[in-house]
Amino acid sequence: MTDLADLRLTPQRMAVLEVLRAADDHPTAAEVYERVRRTSPRIGSATVYRTLSLLVSTGRALELNLGDGAAARYDANTCRHDHAVCDGCGRAVDLDHPVPDGMMAEIARRSGFAITGYDLQFRGMCPDCQANSSDPARAAGGTGPTVNTHAKGALHAEA
């Protein structure tokens, strides 16, 4: 990967990068901020946001938009990978799955696009939340996330 030579390695940036590298989950910027403050209490949130986008734009981190409209998440695992997102607890686990190369070529051919990449997330229930599906209490460590209402109804006109 790109080396850090072209970056000014300030203590704040170092702290952010270390927090991100130590994270096994996929923390949001706010979570990174919170963790960085434990070792660098004087850091400002603007610096964390700035550093995260710097890391992303230089290929040292990935920004994940898991599609639920929530905050962006950051991933120090820069190898191309996709995620499975739990509708219950919001956890996102890494997927190391084979991507059919022919599929992207086919899409490019049929759409006329010059495809440069793709984002793919699976959604479902993680094993923990499947076990606790009848229990309204949160799974271990779960940050009360997305209440997914899949109720169906019918619009009926009376006029």
**String marking each residue 12-51 x if it binds a copy of itself according to CB under 8 A:** -x--------------------------------------
**Which residues are registered as beta bridge partners of 142?**
none
- Binding site annotation covers 129? yes
Given the complex with a copy of itself, which of 42 and 113 has the nearer CB atom? 113
φ and ψ at 75, to 5 degrees? -140, 120
Smallest gap from Cβ 122 to a copy of itself, in A, equals: 5
How many Cβ atoms are within 10 Å of 33's Cβ, its own excluded?
A: 20
Task: Report how many residues bind a copy of itself under the rule CB under 8 A.
Answer: 72
CB of 13 to DNA, least distance (A): 5
Whole-angstrom distance, CA of residue 74 vs CA of residue 23: 9
Provide the angle, in degrees to the nearest 10, between the axes of the packed helices 11-22 and 45-57.
Answer: 70
Site for DNA in 17-76 (CB under 7 A): 28-30, 40, 42-47, 49-51, 53, 69-72
- What is d(CA 22, CA 17) in angstroms, rounded to the nearest whole number? 9
Per CB under 7 A, the segment of 3-11, 17-25, 87-95, 126-134 that binds DNA is: 3-11
Residue (17 or 129) nearer to Zn ion, CB = 129
Pick from DNA, Zn ion, a copy of itself, none: which does 89 bind, CB < 5 to 8 A by kind? Answer: Zn ion
Q: Is 86 annotated among the ligand-binding residues?
A: yes
Give the containing element (helix H, strand E) for 85.
strand 82-86
Residues 71-90 interacting with Zn ion (rule: CB under 5 A): 75, 77, 86, 88-89
Helix (H), strand (E) at residue 12: helix 11-22
Backbone angles phi, psi at 127, to 5 degrees: -55, -45
Binding site: what residues are annotated? 82, 86, 89, 126, 129
